[in-house]
Structure 1
């Protein structure tokens, strides 16, 4: 929900000392810190996160098994389809962020996207009920239509719910600012608690009972998520929608103006700063070429057509994040393997925990959830206070230090995954099952535990650090879009993963032999692919360190653009 600035002005006279600047309550009055927002509202958002992630991961964590099973797709094609679908879902937050920040506001966007989400999950359940042993083209089309509608619902929902939750904390108040940093830890905790439950329960139902039931339960969960969100309506803080040009339009205009004026000298220019905020000196010396957008060349543009300082600073804040975005793509490619290649590894291994119980391969993903559930409280309640006492930073360590640590752990996870896969292939050859695709390799699934645990640790550092960076380091009016760019890292990562797998599969199998991604996993070479990903992430880390040295924070300075 967003409220117009005119409505805010009409209520401003009733403000009291604990009024939160720039925020309103559900009735359109200035929001008070004593009665709205903070953890009283954030708990609802965290509850929504648990239910929504349960629904989404109940589908995504095991979708490759549905594609290779009931739909009968080969592993390489199924992995590519999963990557493309996941990538689409992770790019759609750009649409959700744009809608929320430019048109209808975060509250309304969350409600509408939740309804679409529920409808999509209902259709997906119906498609599983109608499926046959040999599905025809119409059934396959209906399934993928429903699946991509799920991607649309969750893609629009995702950035808005996270930004809306962070909005409940006043960045100008020291206590609430610390609470917001903690909120990002706990919202990630919730985003793991939901999937953890889904992987443990729904994967078993899908593999052993019914796919339609396994898809229907997430539909119910999403309905619960919407109900929880609506219950918190009276406690939320809502941003004020100012009647002005759309944020992305203003930023695009800055780049166009700077390009038009790149030959214009400042001595022939005018500056349009009337009624605008002062540019933060911290950023004004970076990307000086954008300052050309301030110019109004004689005889070519009217004075009013020049961009103003505030608009230029908005553009600069986004531009400064691009190197961090680009150098994180290797990490995103690694995450794309968890629900695909990691799962296919587990399918071939001994997953028994007793003489009669086998763990579903997709359920091994819960190891990531367990590591996050165990380590987030330790990070938030033990590590951060200790680090804070040493560094003096309310975050403990800086956002970039946190991300860099995660990148190192990501490289280590790929090195271990490659070594374990090499061991699995050798075991298959020694026991004579290399040419038996459906035979179990006599090697326990416990060998996979370290790579899953390290991926969980990577997320605690890199993923949460990126969330904070892309929320705190963008203008106030672009918070949803900032988080959308964060999610787009993983969307592009899914597409890059699909591209790499497709190209490498063609190159390594063109002579008619077994490629790196052979349908017989015991003749494949996933270990080579993991080594390649470790190398790509090492290059990404070097680039990240290079750009980090010249990065200046604005979020921690209390500067509002």
Structure 2
């Protein structure tokens, strides 16, 4: 880390960075459009049409969406002073961000499912048989490496085999659109959590058969290697979804809003992690009342992680349905590489 810091500081002298002091923060510009549109909510349609005509033709077909934001072109106090009226460029920026919100919203469930691979999967694996040889057991946390290995191995397969094949079918440079790529990753994620639920059901059944329900420290004679398919599918889904998210939210905004696009991409996993914690807390309080064992009991043999996984699978199915609905009406930015 010290060596990396030295290299980083040494490179700052050669890094080109310019500050355009005359431009407002992109978050401020977008927020100002929404505030102006709300303030002008009761303005007559004729006044808005006249203002649109004065600004000229809107730049793209996608501008026909969210036309209520065109009210930001009107001055709230009747003044035309610069800085009090939003420009057509600022209105289009706000529309671009708003157009991404449905995709962002439906992606949160993916982040909730994604969070389980490093939490409950590890706890689940710790109770299972992790023997590699008679004298060696792998740690349950080490099973996560299969997700990383799957990602590393699948990337060249995706780039060298799947993309050329899809390109031949669709005649598109990337083979499939960014939204299709994200959707495939969501589907694989849903399948992985279904497999995890089936494995947990078998683990609980085995614990009951061997009389280990009240022994939380016992090793249930179910191989932890049954968790590997879920980890592998998570790794493959990352190749589709994580890369797709980053490319989509970066590509579908104007150059001036690249930071906003990346912020939206990263916030999916930040908000998703909070939602995962909220969901777990709510289920814990609901199912663990009256001194009973909750779905997340410390004794996993009396818990019901399988119920939780099935709940996530159901949410993933709803997510996919909403995602397909929203993507049908999504209009790609005109400069999109796809």
Q: Same fold (TM over 0.5)?
A: yes
Determine the structure 2 residue equivalent to 1:259: 38
Determine the structure 1 residue equivalent to 2:243: 464
CA contact (8 A) 1:414 1:533 kept: yes
Measure how far apart 1:446 and its partner are.
0.8
CA contact (8 A) 1:271 1:308 kept: no
Determine the structure 2 residue equivalent to 1:490: 269
2:308 aligned with 1:525: no
List gaps (5 residues or longer) in structure 1: 1-219
CA contact (8 A) 1:284 1:313 kept: yes
2:113 to 317, 324, 334: 334
RMSD of the alignment, in Å? 2.5
The worse-fitting range, judged by mean Cα deviation, of 543-552 and 234-243 is 234-243
2:257 aligned with 1:478: yes
Measure how far apart 1:282 and its partner are.
2.7
2:86 aligned with 1:302: no
TM-score (norm 1): 0.56
CA contact (8 A) 2:251 2:336 kept: no
Determine the structure 2 residue equivalent to 1:371: 150
Cα deviations by residue, 1:54-82 (Å, 9 ceiling, x for unpaired): xxxxxxxxxxxxxxxxxxxxxxxxxxxxx
2:211 aligned with 1:443: no
Instruction: Work out the CA distance in 2 between the residues paired with 1:235 and 1:393.
Output: 38
Determine the structure 1 residue equivalent to 2:192: 413
1:429 to 197, 203, 208: 208
Distance 1:553 1:226, change over 3 A: farther
Measure how far apart 1:230 and its partner are.
5.5
The worse-fitting range, judged by mean Cα deviation, of 457-466 and 545-554 is 457-466
List gaps (5 residues or longer) in structure 2: none
Cα deviations by residue, 1:285-306 (Å, 9 ceiling, x for unpaired): 0100000111136x54334321
Determine the structure 1 residue equivalent to 2:289: 510
Distance 1:404 1:327, change over 3 A: same
CA contact (8 A) 1:349 1:443 kept: yes
Q: For 1:275-424, what aligned pairs fall within 5 Å after superposition?
A: 279-296=58-75, 300-304=78-82, 305-424=84-203
Determine the structure 2 residue equivalent to 1:116: none
| 3-state DSSP of counterpart to 1:442 | strand
Measure how far apart 1:239 and its partner are.
6.4
Instruction: Work out the CA distance in 2 between the residues paired with 1:432 and 1:277.
Output: 77
TM-score (norm 2): 0.92
Measure how far apart 1:318 and its partner are.
0.5
| 3-state DSSP of counterpart to 1:511 | helix
Distance 1:484 1:448, change over 3 A: same
CA contact (8 A) 2:60 2:334 kept: no
Instruction: Work out the CA distance in 2 between the residues paired with 1:477 and 1:438.
Output: 56
The runs of 4+ residues in structure 1 deviating greater than 2 Å are 223-243, 265-274, 276-280, 299-304, 555-559
For this pair of structures, how many residues does the alignment match? 336
Cα deviations by residue, 1:358-377 (Å, 9 ceiling, x for unpaired): 21111111110010010011
Determine the structure 1 residue equivalent to 2:26: 247
Cα deviations by residue, 1:426-482 (Å, 9 ceiling, x for unpaired): 111112222111111111111111111111111111121111111001121221221
Cα deviations by residue, 1:475-506 (Å, 9 ceiling, x for unpaired): 21221221111111111111111111111111
